[in-house]
Amino acid sequence: MASDSKRKININGKDIEYVFKRTKGSKSVRLAVYQDGRFVVTAPRWYPIYVVNKFIEEKSQWIFDKVKDVDFDLLREKKADESAEYKKYVKLARVVIAGRLEFFNRYYGFAYKRVAIKNQKTCWGSCSRKANLNFNYKIIKLPDELRDYVIVHELCHLRELNHSRNFWGLVAQTVPDYRELRRRLRNIKN
């Protein structure tokens, strides 16, 4: 399990925010800089902080080159907008998803535990081995047939936690045109 904290470093006069993670399983300090300007430093729990700081200092020019063109004020503004949008739609998404899950599960009869509505960046939904279902709040903005496809897709993962022929057979029982819907969904940015 990791413990995260947000920190700042000043490189060449520019304040750069980053996430510092201490993880049980890591063996060395790692550094990752993402295209959106996110910067993550991961270190073992036993690493002294001065060693981590020295590592960051040694890599400072490389970090600066990666993030020098990132407008962190604009990123903060974008995050605030996303947060406001999430708050606006999360309750509606929860109600709609719960209703559609109940509707489709009358057919399937699968047992699930928790349903969470999240602000996921890369997926519309997921299903855990513990039978928890997660959905992106933006699902509420999808056309009904795409929303239903995502819900059925995750519901069927309760039986088949893979994308095998059996899984797609389950999906096809209630969403026979899943191939077309899947293709359409791939063309929508979430």
- Prediction pTM value: 0.66
Under 8 Å between Cβ of 110 and 180:
no
> Are residues 157 and 167 in contact, defined by beta-carbon separation less than 8 angstroms?
yes
Q: Same domain, yes or no, for 92 and 148?
A: yes
DSSP state of 12: T
DSSP code of residue 75: H
Q: Tell me: pLDDT of 107 over 70.
A: yes
**Whether 117 and 177 share a structural domain:** yes
CA distances from 120 to 35, 39, 57, 117 (A): 17, 18, 32, 9
Distance between CA 49 and CA 121 in Å, rounded?
Answer: 31
Count of domains in the chain?
2
Range of the domain at 10: 2-70
Rounded to 10 degrees, the C-alpha dihedral 167/171/177/183 comes to: -60
Tens digit of pLDDT for each residue in 9-27? 777 777 777 888 888 878 8
Kindly report the CATH number assigned to the domain that includes residue 137.
Answer: 3.30.2010.10
As a whole number, mean pLDDT of residues 86-91 equals: 90
| Domain limit, last residue, from 70, 87, 120 | 70
**Both 109 and 168 in a single domain?**
yes
117: which strand partners?
Answer: 135
Say whether both 130 and 180 belong to one domain. yes
